[in-house]
Chain A
Amino acid sequence: MQELLDKYFRKDKLPHIWCPGCGHGIVLGAVVRAIDKVNLDPDKTTVVSGIGCSSRAPGYMKFDTLHTTHGRALAFATGVKHAKPELNVLVLTGDGDAAAIGGNHLIHAARRNIDITAVLFNNNIYGMTGGQYSPLTPTGKVATTAPYGNIDQAFDICNLAIAAGATYVARGTVYNVTQLIGLISKGIQNKGFSLIEVITQCPTVYGRRNKMGTTIDMMKWQKENTVNVKAAKKMSKEQLKGKILVGELYSDTRPEYTEQYTKIVERLQKEGQ
């Protein structure tokens, strides 16, 4: 633990700003452990974020880090990766950041299959601004801007990413950290666009308002309401009703954007000689 802290964290920036019971620290811990597991060169790794609670994570990480504007992390990251393809690029984002204001960038990063690993901290709410509903807030839940219950339909953001062309898509929880580290590691190793959605709890402005109990209750909820995608194959529709699938949801290989572009550069430069 101490070794990880020394190697990957800006310790002078700790303690973090997140509320007691927030799951974001667990996600950050899993991201760093995954980076360590796949042995990325910290000098060649850039971590990009947008705006919101999730997006404060890179500030604690000892890499080149870029805290951008709301929703735009993937667009900034696309510039970083395309200009310097040898860099490993990770994006840490939230449900509001990636699924609402940044939704367009998410589908296009997936479509290009650019080699970026996006970790989406899904706490089902806009936390930083005090608890407004997001595109990932389930129907019926209460938020400061949905005082009579949310009538919106939530996205299945993983299905959206798969449909848009991402080549690695997974969902994990902060309850099952071991699994989460594995999923993020595989996402980083995928040569293409990867999305890992992480179900994390916001006890302060989401759980409290929706009477979901303590942090521990919310993490138990994650355990009880998720089913591994492998186990789900053996379960009936009835058994799967209301359950959230976790694990590796999709994996494929397809040409990666910056590699394709580099091929054009190499061909033209050869022809020009």
Chain B
Amino acid sequence: MSKNKPILMQGNEACARGALAAGCRFFAGYPITPSSEIAEVLSEELPKIGGRFIQMEDEIASIAAVIGASLTGCKSMTATSGPGLSLKAENIGYASIAEVPCVIVDVQRVGPSTGGPTAPSQGDVMQARWGTHGDHPIIALAPNSVKETFEVTIKAFNLSEQFRVPVILLLDEVIGHMRERVVLPDIDSIQIIDRKKATVPPEEYLPYKPDKDGVPEMASYGDGYRFHVTGLTHDETGFPNTGSENTDYLIRRLHEKIEKNLDKIIMVDEYFMDDAEIALFAYGSPSRSSLSAVRKAREEGIKVGLIRPVTIWPFPAEVVRKAARKVKKIIVPEMNLGQLIGEVEKHVKSDAEVIGLNRVDGELITPQEVMEKIKEVL
């Protein structure tokens, strides 16, 4: 049990506190609703512990500064909402190909465009996956409570550091702005992962030579390694190499370092799935309404369960495939017109019927709505 006392905390604040606990010492951002509290908390807290905060001139500059800071060996983060994620897209791809660890928080609002800045949605799920051009690996995590936002922000840093990949933390306006009673875990009990530092002397260092786990060791700027980083396709030396064989090798390796470590990356909770005939597949805010509906339905003797992924990218395909062989129907509640449902359908194939439950009015999906849907498909 944690020795910490219960406190009332907002989701965005939990994100900022999680970042600090994870070792984040650099934040660059640009004001945008509904994420600005993350920047505000970090502007106050970072300098107290020797960290650095900067409000940049725009969203693009913010992610650029974060990547620059990370190359000096500093754990770094930025936070935004959908419009800002669109602007950051190009440099997220840069972090992906140059393998620079960083965390990008997207507190989703309803969209497209300026949309509804203070209304929640899950409209950025596919943008998180495919927002930047080209084939690239990405990790995206979607917590569903204030406490979990604290924990998953730490996890986001850990995964980013371990696999040298940008990690997108997908909150939504409700998670970001909601206040809940939380008991934070003891600092000593939190696992913190740091990037692998260069272990060889500078003259032997190959900045993009992968270890057995597919991830190269990472030197820091200023440590005497004098290495080159580019967004061009490059070989193990880090210098441009646009040859077809090398390009193929690089792009595949970037994906393999994620695909070969799915067990360390994918986090999924399952509730009442043992004997379920209907499964709900829900993440973020709708997963709370879904769990509530599942409990209610069980009281009425309806055999329904819940699959609740925290990791949405890489997609937890195996869990879905396994469930599809057991249940007849899978309901996917999402605060969008059906984004992750496409991924569910892809892996379910014809093993089960997949049904969407969607809202795009900037309001939450309620437990009653989920319940009605369960009864409708019975």
Contact = CB atoms under 8 A, between A and B. Distances in A.
Contacts of A58: 228
Given A13-B239, A79-B64, A265 B50 contact: yes
Interface stretch (B65-73, B121-129, B311-319, B344-352): B65-73
B48 interface: yes
Given A65-B229, A67-B230, A76 B67 contact: yes
Interface stretch (A82-90, A185-193, A194-202, A205-213): A82-90
Nearest to A258: B52
Contacts of B69: 79-80, 82-84
B234 to A, nearest CB: 9
B76 interface: yes
A83 B64 contact: no
A160 interface: no
Contacts of A59: 228, 230, 239-240
Nearest to B68: A79
Contacts of B193: none
Nearest to A44: B222
B68 A66 contact: yes
A148 to B, nearest CB: 32
A141 interface: no
Interface string A68-105: 11001001111111111011000000000000000011
A69 B221 contact: no
A87 B221 contact: yes
A82 B239 CA distance: 26
- Interface range on chain B (Cβ under 8 Å from partner): 35 or more
Contact of B28 (A46, A79, A105): A79
Contact of A104 (B57, B62, B71, B231): B57
B232 A82 contact: no
Interface string A26-61: 000000000000000011101010000000001100
Contacts of A84: 69, 72-74, 221-222
- Interface range on chain A (Cβ under 8 Å from partner): 35 or more
Interface string A234-273: 0000000000000000000000000001001100110010
A77 B68 contact: yes
B47 A265 contact: yes
Given A72-B91, A79-B26, A43 B231 contact: no
B227 interface: yes
B270 interface: no
Interface in B45-93: 47-48, 50, 52, 54, 56-58, 60-62, 64-74, 76, 90-91
Nearest to A88: B222
Contacts, number: 138
Interface string B18-31: 00000001101000
**A interface, by DSSP: helix, strand, loop or mixed?**
helix
Contacts of A108: 56-57, 61
B65 A75 contact: yes
Contacts of B68: 48, 66, 75-81, 83
A203 B19 CA distance: 51
B65 A78 contact: yes
A268 B64 contact: no
Contacts of B91: 69, 72
Contacts of B225: 64
Given A69-B94, A76-B68, A62 B226 contact: yes
Contact of B222 (A46, A68, A78, A265): A46
A64 B52 CA distance: 21
B224 interface: yes
B66 A79 contact: yes
B56 A78 contact: yes
A6 to B, nearest CB: 14
Given A48-B68, A72-B60, A265-B47, A82 B52 contact: yes
B230 A104 contact: no
Among B74, B221, B224, the most chain A Cβ lie within 10 Å of the Cβ of B221
Contact of A82 (B58, B65, B67, B231): B65
Given A76-B67, A78-B56, A105-B61, 9 more contacts: A10-B228, A48-B68, A64-B227, A69-B91, A78-B64, A79-B70, A83-B76, A84-B221, A268-B48
Nearest 4 A/B pairs, CB to CB? A79-B68, A79-B65, A75-B64, A83-B69
